């Protein structure tokens, strides 16, 4: 399993650093025929005061909140084709994390702790006794951390392609393998990290389209680009990979991953794991670990996909979520 993950991260490194990746047309020849996945949506957009800033969200439906949480480098836009499929089950809300999407961009470090603080404050604005959380990438980690700290408020939790145990934390750069270890050393380097993520915008321009199993059209790419057109607005995009816990650093995210792993083993809340093949962070080979760790776990295979599976299989994800929410 570890070797497989290293292979995927090696592919990621090649996409992000190789000059070949500069030409997106060269990376699509072996991909699936493009399905009809709408780049536009009719969801309502809202903005609310949160701490010293504002946070925006997309919304559809009424009732108990179903909160969708994105990761790096995406936004609430990632969930546009999934939310309507659960709108008959509650108030579907896709939040833009602080510094991302249309949310405010205050002067922060954009650490995991910063994101958690603003995300928690955002949920408080909903005045909801019970919520359902649906997380992806770092959004999955935020969902689990919130559920750990608010077990009485979180009714149930669904996650996919999460930055989570058992993959994290990593023991050392060396334990990650040479390609993956060198890539994250570059992210943490003050000069190389700036060049790769801030100057070249590689998370949006290379990693995102590279880990969708179809060519993303220009309208969708422009939607993902829009929040980070200015160099200073890309600060959160660099902060996220620097928050990956390696060798006990950063201490906050290392502790968070350990706490989440422990919580997974004791929680009795209903949990849904959605996974794709081949996947990246959560592969089919990882599913047995979660089945053994989480008491009330259900799993849903949603078909072929890489990391940003909402852009590959929105209908399968939405229907699986709808059925799971209906039964709980």
Q: Are 56 and 102 in contact (CB under 8 A)?
A: yes
What digits encode the pLDDT tens for the residues 19-65? 333 434 445 555 666 567 999 999 999 999 999 999 999 999 999 99
Considering 59, 137, 205, 243, which one is annotated as catalytic?
137
Averaged pLDDT for residues 129-154: 98
Q: Is residue 307 flagged as an active site residue? A: yes
What pLDDT, on a 0 to 100 scale, did the predictor assign at position 34?
Answer: 55
Name the pLDDT band for 10 (thresholds 50, 70, 90): very low
Residue ranges of domains in the chain, CATH in brackets: 2-18+44-327 (3.40.50.1820)
Average pLDDT for 199-210: 97
Strand (E) or helix (H) holding 217: none
pLDDT of residue 17: 39
Query: Pick the catalytic residue: 96, 145, 161, 205?
Result: 161
Dihedral angle over CA of 286, 12, 141, 66, nearest 10: -90
- Within 10 angstroms of residue 258's Cβ, the number of other Cβ atoms is 14
Can you give the pLDDT at residue 222? 98
Please report the pLDDT score of residue 62 as a whole number. Answer: 97
Max alpha carbon distance in the chain (Å)? Answer: 51
DSSP 270-289: -EEEEEEEE-SSS-GGGHHH
Chain segment 59-99, per-residue pLDDT in tens: 999 999 999 999 999 999 999 999 999 999 999 999 999 99
Q: Give yes or no: 161 in active site.
A: yes
Question: Which residues are CB-contacts of 143 (< 8 A; sequence separation ≥ 6)?
Answer: 69, 133, 134, 135, 157, 159
Which segment of 11-25, 183-197, 238-252 scores lowest on mean pLDDT? Answer: 11-25
Strand order in the sheet with 271-278: 44-50, 53-60, 91-95, 65-69, 131-137, 154-162, 271-278, 297-305
Q: Across the chain, what does the average pLDDT equal?
A: 91
pLDDT per residue over 256-278, tens digit each? 999 999 999 999 999 999 999 99
At 5 the pLDDT is 52
Q: Mean of the pLDDT values across residues 220-241?
A: 98
pTM: 0.91
Tokens of 272: 């849904």
Per DSSP, which regions of the chain are E strands?
44-50, 53-60, 65-69, 91-95, 131-137, 154-162, 271-278, 297-305
- Tell me: pLDDT of 230 over 70: yes
Whether 88 is catalytic: no
Answer whether residue 1 shows pLDDT above 80: no
Bridge partners of 46?
Answer: 57
Question: Given this model, what pLDDT does residue 30 score?
Answer: 59
Residue with tokens 């023991």: 171
């Amino acid at each position: 399993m570890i070797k497989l993950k290293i292979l995927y991260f090696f592919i990621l490194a090649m996409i992000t650093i190789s000059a070949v990746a500069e030409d997106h047309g060269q990376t699509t020849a072996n991909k699936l025929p493009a399905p009809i996945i709408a780049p536009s949506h009719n969801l309502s957009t809202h903005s609310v005061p949160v701490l010293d800033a504002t946070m925006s969200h997309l919304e559809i439906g009424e009732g108990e909140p179903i909160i969708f949480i994105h990761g790096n480098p995406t936004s609430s836009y990632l969930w546009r084709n999934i939310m309507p499929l659960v709108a008959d089950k509650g108030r579907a809300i896709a939040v833009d994390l602080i510094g991302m999407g249309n949310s405010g961009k205050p002067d922060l470090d954009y650490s995991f702790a910063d994101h958690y603080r603003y995300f928690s404050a955002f949920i408080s604005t909903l005045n909801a006794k019970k919520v359902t959380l649906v997380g992806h990438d770092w959004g999955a980690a935020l969902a689990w951390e919130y559920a750990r700290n608010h077990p009485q408020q979180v009714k149930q939790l669904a996650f996919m392609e999460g930055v989570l145990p058992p993959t994290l934390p990593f023991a050392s750069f060396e334990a990650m393998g040479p390609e993956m270890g060198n890539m994250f050393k570059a992210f943490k380097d003050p000069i190389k990290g700036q060049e790769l993520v801030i100057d070249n915008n590689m998370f949006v321009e290379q990693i995102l389209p590279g880990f969708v199993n179809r060519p993303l059209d220009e309208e969708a790419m422009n939607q993902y680009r829009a929040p980070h057109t200015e160099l200073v607005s890309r600060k959160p995009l660099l902060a996220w990979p620097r928050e990956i816990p390696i060798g006990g650093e950063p201490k906050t995210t290392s502790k968070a991953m350990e706490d989440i792993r422990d919580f997974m083993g004791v929680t009795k809340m209903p949990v849904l794991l959605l996974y794709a093949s081949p996947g990246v962070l959560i592969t089919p080979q990882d599913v047995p670990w979660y089945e053994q760790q989480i008491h009330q776990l259900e799993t849903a295979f949603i078909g072929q996909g890489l990391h940003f599976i909402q852009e590959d299989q929105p209908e399968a994800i939405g229907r699986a979520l709808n059925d799971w929410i209906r039964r709980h």
